[in-house]
């Protein structure tokens, strides 16, 4: 692979010309099995044979993706137990009168059972009007690209404002931001969900066959953002949509066909402690991207 000439000269720090080889090496040697067992995606994979159930499971897991991965997987397991593992049935049995009490007592961080019940109702209404969530995403994508696809998904999941339809419970609508509204959220959970559904390669499901992986945007969580900033993939200090576009564009220079394939590796490099987020030669010494890291710029060993 030829060295990349990084075109964004606004960065205070940029990776080395050999960064593509370094990143590919990190990806190639990464312990996927170790990290997949810790990832919320591991909760969704058992549903992969049933496309609709996998869409629902993925959306629930992505919506719950707040906090550490152990707590997220525990919360998803709680929902599974409360629904008997029948996620299609959970959605199909929702109505205008029973959604609020669908999972009484459920709570994960600030996400409550009434919000999950309303999400079930919204999914039922969406499936009544559309063949799949992919179809809904594509409607928005055709008008506004990837950001438009997220907007279409998010607005339908939020539900109608006013009218006779049941109103969303307090705090529910904030669970589904989109990048075209004021604030331009990084939309980590929504981009994560779409990544799970679209990418064909490990560890993702590849159930959405009409969306090309090349158009995906990176799910920019706190770990990925910290590492991306210190690798010079963005100079932004705020984890918003512009940083998402920066990092995705930089990764697209490495792999234009599948730019977000590196997301899982970068994220779990942070989660696992493989990146200590400080100079520590005992941990950082073997790291193949250390030559690209801002913390090690101009240094050969620990200070």
Task: Kindly tell me if the per-residue pLDDT of 5 is higher than 50.
Answer: no
Do 132 and 71 lie in a common domain?
Answer: yes
Q: How many domains does the chain have?
A: 2
Q: Does residue 233 form part of some domain?
A: yes
Within 10 angstroms of residue 256's Cβ, the number of other Cβ atoms is 9
Q: What is the DSSP string of 235-268?
A: --SS-BHHHHHHHHHHHHHH-SSSGGGGHHHHHH
Do 255 and 292 lie in a common domain?
Answer: yes
Do 117 and 263 lie in a common domain?
Answer: no
Q: 243-278 pLDDT, tens per residue?
A: 999 999 999 999 999 999 999 999 999 999 999 999
Gyration radius (Cα) of the chain, Å: 20
Task: Kindly tell me if the per-residue pLDDT of 202 is higher than 90.
Answer: yes
Tell me the HSE value of 28 on the side-chain side, using a 13 A CA sphere: 8
Q: Does residue 302 form part of some domain?
A: no
Do 98 and 84 lie in a common domain?
Answer: yes
The mean predicted confidence, pLDDT, of the chain is 93
Where residue 25 sits, what CATH number does that domain have? 1.10.1670
DSSP conformation class of 275: S
Do 144 and 246 lie in a common domain?
Answer: no
Domain that holds residue 164: 42-212
Q: Does residue 47 form part of some domain?
A: yes
Do 78 and 151 lie in a common domain?
Answer: yes
Do 99 and 205 lie in a common domain?
Answer: yes
The vertex-18 CA angle with 213 and 222, nearest 5°, equals 55
Do 155 and 82 lie in a common domain?
Answer: yes
Q: 69-98 pLDDT, tens per residue?
A: 999 999 999 999 999 999 999 999 999 999
DSSP conformation class of 75: H
Q: 95-140 pLDDT, tens per residue?
A: 999 999 999 999 999 999 999 999 999 999 999 999 899 999 999 9
Do 61 and 25 lie in a common domain?
Answer: no
The pLDDT value recorded for residue 162 is 77
Q: How do 111-112 and 107-108 pair as beta strands?
A: antiparallel
Do 107 and 256 lie in a common domain?
Answer: no
Q: Does residue 37 form part of some domain?
A: no
Do 67 and 198 lie in a common domain?
Answer: yes
Q: Does residue 111 form part of some domain?
A: yes
Burial 89-99 (b: 16+ CB within 10 A, else e): ebbeebeeeeb
How large is the average pLDDT for residues 199-223? 97
Do 197 and 293 lie in a common domain?
Answer: no
Q: Does residue 187 form part of some domain?
A: yes
Q: Does residue 198 form part of some domain?
A: yes
Calpha distance 227→233 (Å, rounded) = 9
């Amino acid at each position: 692979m030829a060295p990349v000439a990084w075109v964004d000269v606004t960065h205070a720090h940029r990776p080395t010309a050999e960064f593509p080889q370094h990143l590919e090496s990190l990806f190639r040697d990464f312990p996927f099995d170790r990290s997949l067992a810790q990832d919320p995606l591991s909760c969704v994979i058992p549903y992969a044979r049933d496309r609709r159930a996998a869409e629902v499971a993925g959306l629930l897991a992505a919506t719950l993706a707040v906090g550490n991965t152990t707590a997220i997987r525990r919360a998803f397991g709680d929902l599974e137990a409360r629904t008997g593992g029948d996620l299609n049935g959970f959605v199909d049995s929702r109505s205008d009168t029973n959604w609020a009490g669908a999972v009484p007592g459920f709570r994960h961080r600030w996400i409550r059972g009434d919000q999950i019940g309303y999400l079930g109702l919204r999914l039922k209404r969406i499936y009544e009007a559309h063949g799949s969530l992919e179809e809904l995403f594509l409607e928005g994508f055709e008008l506004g690209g990837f950001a438009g696809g997220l907007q279409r998904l998010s607005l339908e999941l939020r539900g109608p404002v006013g009218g006779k339809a049941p109103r969303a419970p307090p705090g529910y609508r904030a669970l589904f931001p989109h990048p075209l509204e004021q604030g331009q959220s990084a939309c980590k959970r929504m981009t994560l969900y779409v990544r799970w559904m679209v990418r064909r390669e490990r560890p993702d499901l590849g159930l959405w066959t009409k969306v090309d992986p090349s158009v995906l945007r990176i799910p920019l969580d706190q770990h990925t953002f910290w590492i991306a900033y210190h690798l010079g993939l963005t100079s932004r200090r705020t984890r918003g949509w512009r940083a998402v576009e920066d990092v995705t564009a930089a990764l697209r220079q490495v792999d234009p066909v599948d730019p977000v394939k590196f997301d899982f590796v970068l994220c779990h490099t942070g989660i696992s402690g493989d990146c200590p987020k400080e100079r520590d030669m005992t941990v950082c010494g073997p790291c193949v991207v250390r030559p690209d890291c801002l913390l090690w710029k101009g240094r050969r060993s620990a200070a």
